[in-house]
Amino acid sequence: MRQVAERAGVSAKTVSRVMHHDRYVSDDVRQRVEQAIRELQYVPNVVARTFRSGRDDAIGVAVPDISDPFFATLTHEVERVARARGVAVFVTSLGDDAADERPGVEALLSRQVFGLITTPTSADQSYLRPWQERTAIVFIDRSPAKITADSVVEDDFGGAHTATSHLIGHGHQRIGFIGDRVTVATTARRLEGYRAALADAGIPEAPEVIALGATSGAEAGRAARDLLQRPDPPTALFSSNARCSIGIVPALQSVGRSGMPFISFGDFPLAEALRPPLSVIDQDPVAVGHTAVTRIFERLDHPDRRLKRRIVLPVRLVTRGSCGGDHAPAVSGRAVS
Amino acid sequence: MRQVAERAGVSAKTVSRVMHHDRYVSDDVRQRVEQAIRELQYVPNVVARTFRSGRDDAIGVAVPDISDPFFATLTHEVERVARARGVAVFVTSLGDDAADERPGVEALLSRQVFGLITTPTSADQSYLRPWQERTAIVFIDRSPAKITADSVVEDDFGGAHTATSHLIGHGHQRIGFIGDRVTVATTARRLEGYRAALADAGIPEAPEVIALGATSGAEAGRAARDLLQRPDPPTALFSSNARCSIGIVPALQSVGRSGMPFISFGDFPLAEALRPPLSVIDQDPVAVGHTAVTRIFERLDHPDRRLKRRIVLPVRLVTRGSCGGDHAPAVSGRAVS
DNA sequence: CGGTAGCCTGTCACCGGTGACATGCGGTCC
DNA sequence: GGACCGCATGTCACCGGTGACAGGCTACCG
């Protein structure tokens, strides 16, 4: 920048003014500076600006796993909206280990992003409190703990209740539940919805067909096979998330039970192309991402406006054929791409 | 930091030394400083450090689309390796528009990352030349143009040749080719491989069954249907990438042609769970990501070591059943997760 | 013609951590 | 006793852009 200033015969400050389209710059000077910028291929130092101003014009996104179709689609929408405003988006994966959450999130925060969209993976987000003054933080998918902040979550309880009730409506009494750890808040809520649906139908709960702790598709597949090999196997399955479902489908096929009635919480690409097409609870990741990033900009543009902290988005059952009965789809099953 | 220094009764520099485990710090001082750090919950300002040193201890990854399973898996491996070295990874999507490449990549570079892994989407990467002195740049998936740099690509020509030859071996003479734009270098090379295989078998090329320009799964699906509705339809299909394939599968189903012989360049989750299971050319995204990130660290650790610039990774045909004939799988089809 | 307002440009300090260098102190060796 | 070394700590400038503030110049007004 000093070089540009020297070449144009002005001060560094004036170059800064030209860069920012300051009103008070004469045409003569502006042109000389612009030429010097071109000749020297000057690129402003973003880090210096961030350092000085204390905030980077970027949004950080921290999710458990970018390759999960739910988070990938969500992230895509965040990028789309942010790009329209000329804001950069940086994504990072946290993994499933609760201990990795804090370092991963702080790696973004300490780079002074002005907005953060993140999924809590540990049981305590109080460490984010000092950051809230400087950064708009929105939690997605799961509610945060030990902190007050914006969050955009789905109706986990309602979705699981709907799915389970639907299977019950098809005559199933013994419905297997496969999910990851209950320490994950969403899983816990979905398990509650499942239990409530059973209770509402007067069906006693069978703990032996509830398989938790499947942190990968492969583990979920094993869990499904184990359930089917029991002496008293379930007659239908409910999977608590898409990652599990993606492992369960081939597992069912491998034991010749691809026709097993099955509903997945979370849609994913090709779910409709499976045979039978997989019925799902659609979480609408685009809506989650859109709502979250919009909230960030709202907080930025109107710092003192009062807004509802917690946004619960509805989910909907998309019946496609894997639920057990012969029936026309209630919602025409659109594919996720 | 000054506050920490004051509280511990030392200079800021000494705090810096404690943070960096400098040898020349007395135990007494170290403990006082560490206590002050804890009491004030001091978090070092990464931006200041980056600004001063001119480099951020982070790797940037810029790919066309994070939700593409190939790039998602690749990115995952980069993060795994980088995390083991305590290096942060920031991912950003570039989209398909060539004009978006430069701003997206420079958003990362201008934040002074020391390593960049990126996929060229435009036809000219010469703008990266000034950055190469400061940043280790590795191109993945596609070879860069107008610049000399490390690159990790797959054997596009060979893979397409193998797939096409395999279909020819099953008696097909009229093989449809569906892909995105030929301006994408990988697509061009795959088309060449396809053509070469036809030529090697003495089959004249049929330009009317080559459908290019499908930039999304939906478009690829439409292209597939159009090909099948021709008076002289192809008897087998070859898809140039996973995104297209994910659109083609439901399209074939919708016209009752799910049995159409079909090979996809690029594996994806559930390809094996389809009926028939989809045969693919497996690109091994984990190997690409691993090779790329390893190269970054090699360049960092041994700046003057001479290394081969261009790394071509082999691909392999995974036959699963969609190729047309009844045969045992040549490679037991492992699922992508 | 002094006063004032609007326009244009420059100077300087500062953001927070750190490399270069200086300083001071105790011990060892000739 | 002076030279010298290892250790422990402090001082200061600097990275590059920018907010606060200070002029200087022109034009217009009373």
Mean pLDDT of A139-156: 96
Q: Would you tell me which residues 108-147 of chain B have a C-beta closer than 8 angstroms to some C-beta of chain A?
A: 108, 110-112, 130
Q: What's the pLDDT score for residue B122?
A: 93
Backbone phi, psi, residue B250, to 5°: -65, -30
Cβ of B48 under 8 Å from any chain A Cβ? yes
A2 vs B59, more confident: B59
Q: Do B79 and A93 touch (CB under 8 A)?
A: yes
Cβ of A101 under 8 Å from any chain B Cβ? no
Cβ of A255 under 8 Å from any chain B Cβ? no
Asked if pLDDT for residue A67 goes beyond 90, the answer is no
Q: Do B91 and A88 touch (CB under 8 A)?
A: no
Nearest residue to B270 via CA among A126, A210, A269, A215: A269
Q: Would you tell me which residues 171-230 of chain B have a C-beta closer than 8 angstroms to some C-beta of chain A?
A: 216-218
Tokens of B240: 């140039």
Separation between Cα atoms, residue A296 and residue A300, nearest integer Å:
6
Strand order in the sheet with B150-154: A310-313, A150-154, A136-140, A113-118, A56-63, A88-93, B88-93, B56-63, B113-118, B136-140, B150-154, B310-313
Q: Do A47 and B51 touch (CB under 8 A)?
A: yes
Separation of CA B15 and C1' D10 in angstroms?
A: 12
Using CA coordinates, name the residue in chain B closest to A130. B41
Mean pLDDT of A147-171: 97
Which residue out of B132, B270, B280 would a mutagenesis test of the A interface target, given it has the greatest number of A Cβ atoms within 10 Å?
B270
Which residue out of A61, A66, A70, A275 would a mutagenesis test of the B interface target, given it has the greatest number of B Cβ atoms within 10 Å?
A66
Closest alpha carbon to C1' of D14, residue: B52
In b/e form, how buried is each residue of B200-228, taking b as 16+ CB within 10 angstroms? eeebeeeeebbbbebbebbbbbbbbeebb
Strand C reaches within 7 A of the B274 CB: no
Mean pLDDT of B211-222: 96
Mean pLDDT rounded to a whole number for chain B: 93
- Chain D positions within 7 A of any protein Cβ atom are 7-12, 14-20
Q: What's the pLDDT score for residue A306?
A: 93
Cβ of B92 under 8 Å from any chain A Cβ? yes
Cβ-Cβ contacts under 8 Å, A46 against chain B = 110-111
* Angle between helical axes of B156-169 and B185-200 (0-180°, round to 10): 40
Cβ-Cβ contacts under 8 Å, B44 against chain A = 110
Asked if pLDDT for residue A325 goes beyond 90, the answer is no
Q: Would you tell me which residues 231-250 of chain A have a C-beta closer than 8 angstroms to some C-beta of chain B?
A: 246-247, 249-250
Separation of CA B25 and C1' D1 in angstroms?
A: 31
* Residue B86 confidence class, pLDDT cut points 50, 70, 90: very high
Q: Do B79 and A69 touch (CB under 8 A)?
A: no
pTM of the entire structure?
0.92
pLDDT tens digits along B139-186: 999 999 999 999 999 999 999 999 999 999 999 999 999 999 998 999
Q: What's the pLDDT score for residue A25?
A: 92
CA atoms A33, A36, A38, A40: torsion sign: negative
Geometric angle at alpha carbon B82, from B79 and B86, rounded to 5°: 120
pLDDT tens digits along A235-259: 999 999 999 999 999 999 999 999 9
Mean pLDDT rounded to a whole number for chain A: 93
How many residues make up chain A in this entry? 337
Contacts of B241 (CB under 8 A, 6+ apart): B70, B179, B180, B186, B187, B264, B265, B266
- Out of A79, A108, A247, closest to residue B93 by CB: A79
Separation between Cα atoms, residue A2 and residue A13, nearest integer Å:
9
Q: What's the pLDDT score for residue B335?
A: 45
Using CA coordinates, name the residue in chain B closest to A84. B100
Asked if pLDDT for residue A49 goes beyond 90, the answer is yes
Q: What's the pLDDT score for residue A56?
A: 96
Helices (H) and strands (E) in chain A, counts: 12, 12
Strand C reaches within 7 A of the A110 CB: no
Cβ of B337 under 8 Å from any chain A Cβ? yes
Q: What's the pLDDT score for residue A336?
A: 47
Tokens of A35: 């030429």
Using CA coordinates, name the residue in chain B closest to A129. B41
Asked if pLDDT for residue B336 goes beyond 70, the answer is no
Strand C reaches within 7 A of the A17 CB: yes
Q: Do B47 and A47 touch (CB under 8 A)?
A: yes
Q: What's the pLDDT score for residue B312?
A: 97
Asked if pLDDT for residue A214 goes beyond 60, the answer is yes
Q: Report the nucleotide nearest the CA of residue A52, measured to C1'.
A: C15
Q: What's the pLDDT score for residue B325?
A: 57
Tokens of A125: 């987000």
Asked if pLDDT for residue B260 goes beyond 70, the answer is yes
Using CA coordinates, name the residue in chain A closest to B106. A43
To the nearest 10°, report the CA torsion of A253, B333, B211, B253.
-10
* Residue A287 confidence class, pLDDT cut points 50, 70, 90: very high
Separation of CA B46 and C1' C20 in angstroms?
A: 22
- Out of B91, B110, B216, closest to residue A92 by CB: B91
Separation between Cα atoms, residue B248 and residue B260, nearest integer Å:
11
Contacts of B263 (CB under 8 A, 6+ apart): B163, B166, B167, B236, B237, B238, B239, B278, B279, B280, B281, B317, B322, B323
Q: Do B111 and A79 touch (CB under 8 A)?
A: no
Q: Give the max Cα distance, chain A.
A: 88
pLDDT tens digits along A85-124: 999 999 999 998 999 999 999 999 999 999 999 999 999 9
Q: Do B88 and A107 touch (CB under 8 A)?
A: yes
Asked if pLDDT for residue B89 goes beyond 50, the answer is yes
